[in-house]
């Protein structure tokens, strides 16, 4: 298989969401995916898009994707955040992830971002090895924090 890496388009969203669900199942969190096709399409291709990305397509089938957005650091400036690289299980081992990662890196350089960052689960040793091949650094000192919508509503009710 020799996939073409191309910019994601609105027509790709249903397949991209399937890949997101496949990733959630792999990451042992299938019920955490709450985004809809409509929301994903609007967030990527609507009036005020917040993400952009690429798909890996061969023979009319999307086998992988990368989704990114711009992040701003008060220390480093504009940075590319790689939200996800997903390659369907059946297509792994064919360097599709590498092609998608390199496309993201090229974009970061072309847009003059100060760097690119992402997250990986600490138990996902295959993904960690994948990123280490590119010379990626991992930090043990930062912890991820988050509040879901329900928590946000509780916070503003208290305030």
81: its two tokens: 């955040």
Query: By C-alpha distance, which of 23, 3, 20, 19 is closest to 100?
Result: 3
Q: How many CA atoms lie within 13 A of 146 on its CB side?
A: 4
Of 89, 100, 85, give the one whose Cα is nearest residue 22: 89
Nearest residue to 85 (alpha-carbon basis) of 128, 50, 47, 53: 53
Catalytic-labelled residue, pool 69, 72, 113, 131: 131
Would residue 131 show up in a list of annotated catalytic residues for this protein?
yes
Helix runs in the chain, H state only:
13-26, 37-45, 96-110, 125-132, 149-158
Torsion angle of C-alpha atoms 67, 72, 75, 81, degrees rounded to 10: 0
Active centre residues (catalytic): 131
């Amino acid at each position: 298989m020799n996939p073409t890496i191309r910019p994601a388009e609105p027509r790709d969203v249903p397949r991209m969401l399937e890949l997101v669900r496949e990733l959630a199942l792999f990451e042992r969190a299938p019920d955490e995916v709450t985004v809809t096709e409509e929301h994903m399409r609007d967030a990527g291709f609507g009036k005020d898009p917040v993400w952009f990305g690429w798909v890996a397509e061969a023979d009319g089938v999307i086998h992988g994707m990368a989704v990114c957005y711009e992040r701003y650091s008060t220390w480093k400036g504009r940075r590319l955040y790689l939200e996800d690289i997903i390659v369907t299980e059946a297509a792994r081992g064919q360097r599709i992830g590498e092609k998608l990662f390199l496309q993201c890196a090229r974009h970061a350089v072309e847009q003059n971002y100060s760097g690119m960052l992402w997250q990986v689960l600490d138990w996902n040793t295959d993904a960690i090895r994948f990123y280490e091949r590119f010379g990626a650094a991992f930090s043990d000192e930062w912890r991820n924090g988050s509040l879901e919508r329900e928590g946000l509503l509780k916070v503003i009710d208290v305030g």
